[in-house]
């Protein structure tokens, strides 16, 4: 047990490199004015006491959180415990293979799709008829990787298109999602999704938190690892804080391209989105902890995909988190306080 804790300590402490640690310390210094020397030893202490490394130290705002309030935060170790306990790895293929996910959760997709594993060029041509664009996706990539927007023109050679997509591993081709006008105002270049985390525990499904993810106006995806931004959504669907971008460590009051303010934005069909995810969580109860990506259309919410390792840090971002406390008590209320011992 000692060596496990020691390994966890160094993993959380350095999280990639000393250079990254210095960058995060400088960010915290600029945000809070805290002395870097004192902060360094506080980061060491947090890595030992709370298994919180320098990256989480910055995102969770631990420089400003003291004493017992630090114990209210859901950490990486807590999150792993939930995922490893509630999610059966033998069923991961349902979420890791996008074509399998689309088949299993088709009632909540709100769009047509075709699996090129089971189709030919002629079937692809029939699928594309009458459509201006479709989206081709790698069946196993995440974070927006392996996805392309295919413009449909009269002169397309579908044999070549079929061969190209298969060669790239883009076996899933989906109808384009037409997002709600309000969501498009934020950033029309991407489908801006809502991440909703649910826990299905002992036959009851619980809503845990929600985030809005918005594209940067350049890329066609809203993923955070592709330059997108995120902001916590209140349980009433209202956003009250600025959005954060991991790429430049900045908080944005308004979208840098469209100029739309984040605070005051209300997500359309938010309650319906939460209820849809809770129903979807009942389909495969062996995966009890899921982060659902939801698109909002004019007709209501639709599923984009599901993730078996929801984030623990983004939903506790310190400048978006009212009260300076974490979400751990909400998890304990669902799973019981003894769950994390």
Over residues 149-206, the pLDDT tens digits come to 899 999 999 999 999 999 999 999 999 999 999 999 999 988 999 999 999 999 999 9
Q: Quick one: average pLDDT of 81-88?
A: 98
Asked whether the beta carbons of 169 and 146 are under 8 A apart, the reply is yes
Q: Please count the CA atoms within 13 angstroms of the CA of 288 that sit on its side-chain side.
A: 21
* Cα distance between residue 42 and residue 24, in whole Å: 13
Residues 6+ apart with CB under 8 A from 186: 192, 214, 255, 258, 260, 265
Q: What are the strands of the beta sheet with 243-245, ordered from one edge?
A: 250-252, 243-245, 229-232, 204-214, 194-201, 289-297, 300-307
For residue 175, which of 54, 295, 300, 9 has the smallest C-alpha distance? 295
For residues 53 and 11, the answer to whether their CB atoms sit within 8 Å is: yes
Between 247 and 217, whose confidence is greater? 247
pLDDT digits (tens, 9 = 90+) for 245-262: 887 888 999 999 999 999
Average pLDDT over residues 21-43: 88
Contacts of 155 (CB under 8 A, 6+ apart): none
Compute the CA torsion angle 301, 303, 308, 310 (nearest 10 deg).
-30
Of 53, 44, 39, 63, the C-alpha closest to 319 is: 63
Output the pLDDT for position 14.
53
Question: CA torsion angle for 185, 212, 308, 236 (degrees, to 10)?
Answer: -120
Residues β-bridged to residue 317: none
Q: Is 124 helix (H, G, I), strand (E, B) or coil?
A: helix
Q: What is the pLDDT of residues 89-128, one digit of tens each?
A: 999 999 999 999 999 999 999 999 999 999 999 999 999 9
On the question of pLDDT at 213 being above 80, the answer is yes
Q: Which of 271, 281, 143, 300 is nearest to 292 (CA)?
A: 281
Only one residue has tokens 């397309």, namely 156
Nearest CA among 141, 130, 131, 143 for reference residue 171 = 141
**Using an 8 Å Cβ cutoff, are 331 and 209 in contact?**
no
Cα separation, 325 vs 323, whole angstroms: 6
pLDDT tens, 2-30? 455 555 555 555 555 677 888 888 888 98
User: In order of start, what are the domains of the chain with their CATH numbers?
Assistant: 2-64 (no CATH), 84-95+180-340 (3.30.470.20), 112-175 (3.30.1490.20)
In degrees and rounded to multiples of 5, residue 155 shows phi and psi of: -100, 15
Are 149 and 219 in contact by the 8 Å Cβ rule? The answer is no
Residues 289-316: tens digit of each pLDDT: 999 999 999 999 999 999 999 999 999 9
Reduced to 3 states (helix: H, G, I; strand: E, B; else coil), residue 268 is coil
Q: What is the pLDDT of residue 91?
A: 96
Residue 143 has pLDDT above 60, yes or no: no
Using CA atoms, how far apart are residues 50 and 3, in angstroms rounded to an integer? 16
Alpha-carbon span 341 to 336, nearest angstrom? 10
Angstrom distances, CA of residue 236 to CA of 6, 41, 272: 42, 39, 11
């Amino acid at each position: 047990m000692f060596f496990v804790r020691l390994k966890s300590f160094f993993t959380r402490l350095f999280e990639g490199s000393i250079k990254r640690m210095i960058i995060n310390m400088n960010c915290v210094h600029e945000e809070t004015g805290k002395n870097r020397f004192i902060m360094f030893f506080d980061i060491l202490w947090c890595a030992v006491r709370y298994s919180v490394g320098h990256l989480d130290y910055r995102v969770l705002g631990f420089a400003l959180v003291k004493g017992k309030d630090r114990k209210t935060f859901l950490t990486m170790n807590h999150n792993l415990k939930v995922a490893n306990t509630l999610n059966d790895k033998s069923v991961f293929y349902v979420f890791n293979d996008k074509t399998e996910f689309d088949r299993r959760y088709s009632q909540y997709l709100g769009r047509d799709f075709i699996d090129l594993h089971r189709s030919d060029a002629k079937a692809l041509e029939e699928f594309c008829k009458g459509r201006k664009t479709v989206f081709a996706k790698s069946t196993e990539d995440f974070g927006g990787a392996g996805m392309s927007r295919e413009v449909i023109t009269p002169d397309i050679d579908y044999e070549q298109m079929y061969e190209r997509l298969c060669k790239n591993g883009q076996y899933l081709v989906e109808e384009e999602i037409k997002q709600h006008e309000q969501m498009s105002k934020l950033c029309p270049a991407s489908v801006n999704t809502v991440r909703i985390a649910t826990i299905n525990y002992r036959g009851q499904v619980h809503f845990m938190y929600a985030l809005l993810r918005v594209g940067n106006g350049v890329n066609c995806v809203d993923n955070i690892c592709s330059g997108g931004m995120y902001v916590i959504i209140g349980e009433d669907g209202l956003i009250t804080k600025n959005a954060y971008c991991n790429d430049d460590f900045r908080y944005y009051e308004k979208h840098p391209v469209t100029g739309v303010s984040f605070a005051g934005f209300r997500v359309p069909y938010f309650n319906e989105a939460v209820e849809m995810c809770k129903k979807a969580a009942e389909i495969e109860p062996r995966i009890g902890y899921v982060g659902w990506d939801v698109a909002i259309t004019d007709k209501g919410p639709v599923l984009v995909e599901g993730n078996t390792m929801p984030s623990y840090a983004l939903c506790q971002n310190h400048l978006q988190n009212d009260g300076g406390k974490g979400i751990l008590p909400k998890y304990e209320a669902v799973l019981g306080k003894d769950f994390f011992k």
